[in-house]
Amino acid sequence: MQTSKLKFKIVDVFYIVMMILPIVCGIVLQILTEPPSTEITITGARIFFTIPMPLQDFPVTESQINSALVLITLFFFCRFITHGISEKADLKRQHIAELAVEKIDGMVLENMGEYFKGYAPFILAILLLSACSSLLSLFGLFPPTSDINIVGGWAILVFFIITYYKMKCGPLNYLKGFTQPVAFLAPINFISEFATPISMSFRHYGNVLSGTVISTLLAFALGSLSNKALGALPGFLADIPIFQVGIPAVLSVYFDVFSGCLQAFIFAMLTMLNVSGAFDFELYEKRRQKKLSKNK
């Protein structure tokens, strides 16, 4: 019995270490590769190296590396929180996992309907990936959600899912939808079709990036104000960044924590509403019943 408990604890420790290790590796990589600078710098994701490709070279950027680190962390977090699950639910983590599943199932059922209840893991994955990517800025790492390529990739995936469910009612019905409510609106409807992933990606990307820019500018301004106010003092007292204490932390709570999690929730909600709204269940059932009657 003691041996099994010891093995259980060892596995728990392994999962916890593997959750923390990717973030530590990201911080070390950031320290080793970022050039020192005393000036304010607001740039995009750095390119670490480029892989030669036939059509176009493939750059491996900071946002891609950090996204991979987040995925590894989330993988071992899921392994940890589901480790030791049983019917009795003796562990507190199991209660947390069950509560999370119940909440996400209820949210998907309320916003998407019974037909899409299997999308709960996908929606939860979007929430966790987006929120954790934004929270990387708390560790001084570049948040992948500040890269339009990352968020745009998520939006394109959602766009393919939306198009798939529109096509389930038949290609002709999908094309007919561009002529609704009147035919001359077809060009506008065609543009609005592709505006969905663009608006989703730019909304998420823009809000996260703007928070990073505002925080950086304000921290730099407060540092300059500290130098002006204390510059006349002797010795090390002139170098104390007194105005940088407290205020950036409060802003970080909003921009990094609240705003990052809020944007993740909004992206997940838009995904649910756009996917479920693209599917005409009644038309799909009529089409399916018509096929069944023909086969008989």
pTM value > 0.85: no
pLDDT tens by residue, 72-82? 999 999 999 98
pLDDT of residue 231: 61
Q: Which amino acid is at 26?
A: G
Alpha-carbon gap, residue 218 to 213, rounded angstroms: 9
Q: Are 155 and 201 in contact (CB under 8 A)?
A: yes
Q: Are 119 and 268 in contact (CB under 8 A)?
A: no
The token duo for 161 is 């899912």
pLDDT of residue 272: 92
256: CB partners within 8 A, 6+ apart: 134, 135, 137, 138, 211, 215
Low-confidence residues in the chain, pLDDT < 50: none
Helix (H) or strand (E) holding 189: helix 186-230
272: CB partners within 8 A, 6+ apart: 107, 108, 111, 112, 116, 119, 123
Alpha-carbon gap, residue 101 to 121, rounded angstroms: 9
pLDDT of residue 218: 76
pLDDT tens by residue, 231-260? 666 555 555 666 666 666 677 677 778 888
Q: Are 135 and 23 in contact (CB under 8 A)?
A: no
Name 49's bridge partners.
60
- Measure the CA angle with vertex 75, ends 73 and 77; round to 5°: 70
Alpha-carbon gap, residue 33 to 28, rounded angstroms: 9
pLDDT of residue 290: 79
Q: Which amino acid is at 63?
A: S
Q: Which amino acid is at 139?
A: F
pLDDT of residue 69: 94
| Rg of the chain, C-alpha, whole Å | 25
Using CA atoms, how far residue 73 sits from 83, 92, 109, 164, 285, in Å, is: 15, 20, 28, 31, 41
